[in-house]
């Protein structure tokens, strides 16, 4: 990391010496955290609200609901790679601001169309697709901007705090989305999400940060050359190859499960909209647990060992999702999701921290884009596959097939050098 970038960071005392709240007491990170936490809550509401709009307002079938999930993630597959190259050329804070504003406008159109009686499934799919495009740019710029905002030694704490708030949003958001659907209609949840993006934009606009570091030769290379640099860096680093492969296959299976879970709980198990929100929300406690304890686990056992154990431990618990049923057996769905989300959160924090400190800053946007293309690009494929399996063999059979696939992917690190390490390599210049 060059001197220009380091000079813009707000410094925070080391562990055990800082004030209560740590990085949250610093102005820039505090504002960044508030904006991301608020928009994260809105997005968590929409994960339940948008499929419920399709199911309860437009009476969509299983395949269309799965397609709705795919529409939100397919942009990572279609434009993720060139977006990473563009993000490495543009000021990343401006990209974040633009993505927030676009998301707010697009999502606000859904309740307006519903209240005026013109909402169609095509419009809902278009909204999910456009919001997904904005999400691509925001996600890539976010991951590249954080190392500019924080010093290298603060990245683990920053990622943990952001993941804690994201997990808290995932805990409260689905329950809130289900409650809003019952009381005021599912489209109200989508409107709340639109408003939270505006809050995020305001917080980003008032940050006080110095100029971002120059991205070496980014403006001189063609887009395809820049894309190749991102893939090339991953290909040369065995740890990134292993992490990306496991995450890509696992995301395929998980997005298939996610695409089916609303229909599975509502139509197969007879759960109400409020119950669906509570079941999904309760499982999100795992995200909070994983985020809260990630730093402690890493300090005690090492980041490579913690990464390996976290992924192996969750493998059998994913099988509780298709084993769930009506009544008390709904708790199996919540329990399995809770444990899986706990381990996945620890794994994701370790991965993000390692990548943020290991990848040279001028390549971070492109490397992140390449990783997102491979990982998130499998999401829409998994969602569509889940819908096809459900149509051909039934929802429960599809859930079992996807859960078994996810469980198998968690063992992949055993075939890599990760199994012998306590810690991943330190920062590479």
Of the candidates 371, 359, 354, 294, the one whose C-alpha atom is nearest the C-alpha of residue 139 is 371
The Cα 20–Cα 403 span in angstroms is 40
For residues 143, 36, 304 and 11, what is the CA-based torsion angle, rounded to 10 degrees? Answer: 80
Ramachandran sector of residue 211 (left: φ over 0; alpha: ψ -120 to 50; beta: rest): beta
CB 428 within 8 A of CB 358: yes
Listed as ranges, residues in the chain with pLDDT below 50 are: 1-20, 216-220, 429
CB 155 within 8 A of CB 147: yes
The predicted-structure confidence for 7-41, as pLDDT tens digits, reads as follows 344 443 343 344 445 788 888 899 999 998 888 88
**C-alpha distances in angstroms, 169 versus 24, 221, 275, 410?**
17, 40, 17, 26
What size, in residues, is the chain? 429
Q: Give the tokens for residue 199.
A: 């809050």
The Cα 149–Cα 180 span in angstroms is 36
Determine the pLDDT at residue 16.
39
Q: What is the pTM of this model?
A: 0.66
Determine the pLDDT at residue 355.
83
The CATH number given to 23-208+219-420 is 1.20.1250.20
Apex 282 CA angle, 44 and 389, nearest 5: 70
The predicted-structure confidence for 170-181, as pLDDT tens digits, reads as follows 667 666 776 776
Torsions phi, psi for 403 (to 5 deg): -65, -40
The Cα 74–Cα 376 span in angstroms is 8
CB 10 within 8 A of CB 136: no
Q: Give the tokens for residue 131.
A: 């919001």
Q: Give the tokens for residue 183.
A: 């009381």
Residue corresponding to tokens 């278009």:
126
Q: Give the tokens for residue 140.
A: 């890539």
Instruction: Pinpoint the alpha helices (H) of 237-377.
Output: 238-263, 273-283, 285-301, 303-314, 320-323, 330-358, 364-376
Torsions phi, psi for 427 (to 5 deg): -55, 135
Determine the pLDDT at residue 428.
54
Angle of helix 395-409 relative to helix 238-263, nearest 10 degrees, comes to: 160
CB 378 within 8 A of CB 249: yes
Q: What one-character DSSP code corresponds to residue 316?
A: G
CB 391 within 8 A of CB 63: yes
Q: What one-character DSSP code corresponds to residue 57?
A: I
CB atoms within 10 A of CB 172: 16
The Cα 224–Cα 213 span in angstroms is 22
Handedness of CA 223, 225, 229, 232 (dihedral sign): positive
Domain residue ranges in the chain: 23-208+219-420
Q: Give the tokens for residue 37.
A: 């936490």
Determine the pLDDT at residue 145.
86
For residue 356, give every residue at least 6 positions away whose Cβ sits within 8 Å of its Cβ, in sequence order, or none.
143, 146, 147, 155, 159, 364
Q: Give the tokens for residue 66.
A: 């799965």
CB atoms within 10 A of CB 123: 15
CB 131 within 8 A of CB 72: yes
């Amino acid at each position: 990391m060059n001197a220009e970038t380091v000079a813009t960071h707000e410094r925070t005392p080391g562990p055990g010496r800082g004030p209560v709240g740590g990085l949250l007491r610093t102005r820039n990170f505090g504002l960044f955290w508030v904006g991301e936490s608020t928009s994260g809550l809105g997005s968590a509401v929409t994960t339940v609200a948008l499929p419920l709009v399709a199911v309860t307002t437009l009476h969509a079938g299983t395949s269309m609901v799965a397609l709705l999930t795919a529409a939100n993630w397919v942009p990572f597959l279609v434009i993720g790679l060139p977006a990473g190259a563009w993000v490495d050329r543009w000021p990343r804070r401006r990209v974040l601001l633009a993505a927030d504003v676009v998301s707010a406008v697009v999502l606000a159109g859904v309740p307006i169309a519903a209240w005026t009686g013109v909402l169609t499934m095509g419009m809902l799919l278009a909204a999910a697709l456009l919001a997904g495009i904005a999400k691509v740019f925001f996600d890539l710029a976010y991951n590249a901007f954080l190392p500019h905002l924080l010093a290298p030694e603060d990245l683990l704490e920053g990622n943990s705090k952001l993941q804690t708030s994201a997990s808290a949003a995932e805990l409260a958001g689905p329950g809130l989305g289900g409650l809003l659907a019952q009381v005021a209609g599912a489209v109200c949840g989508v409107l709340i999400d639109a408003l939270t993006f505006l809050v995020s934009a305001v917080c980003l606009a008032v940050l006080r940060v110095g100029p971002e570091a120059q991205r070496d030769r980014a403006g001189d290379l063609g887009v395809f050359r820049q894309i190749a640099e991102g893939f090339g860096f991953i290909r040369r680093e065995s740890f990134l190859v292993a992490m990306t492969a496991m995450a890509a296959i696992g995301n395929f299976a998980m997005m298939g499960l996610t695409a089916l879970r609303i229909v599975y709980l509502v139509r197969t198990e007879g759960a109400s909209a409020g119950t669906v929100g509570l079941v999904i929300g309760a499982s999100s406690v795992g995200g909070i647990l994983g985020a809260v304890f990630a730093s402690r686990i890493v300090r005690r056992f090492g980041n490579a060992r913690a990464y390996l154990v976290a992924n192996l431990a969750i493998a059998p618990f994913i099988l509780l999702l298709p084993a769930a049923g009506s009544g008390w057996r709904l708790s199996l769905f919540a329990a399995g999701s809770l444990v899986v989300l706990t381990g996945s959160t620890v794994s994701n924090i370790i991965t993000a921290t390692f990548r943020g400190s290991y990848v040279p800053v001028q390549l971070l946007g492109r490397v992140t884009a390449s990783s997102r293309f491979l990982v998130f690009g499998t999401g829409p494929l998994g969602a569509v596959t889940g819908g096809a399996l459900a149509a051909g063999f039934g929802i429960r059979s599809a859930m079992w097939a996807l859960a078994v696939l996810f469980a198998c992917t968690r063992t992949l690190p055993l075939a890599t050098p990760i199994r012998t390490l306590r810690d991943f390599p330190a920062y590479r210049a």
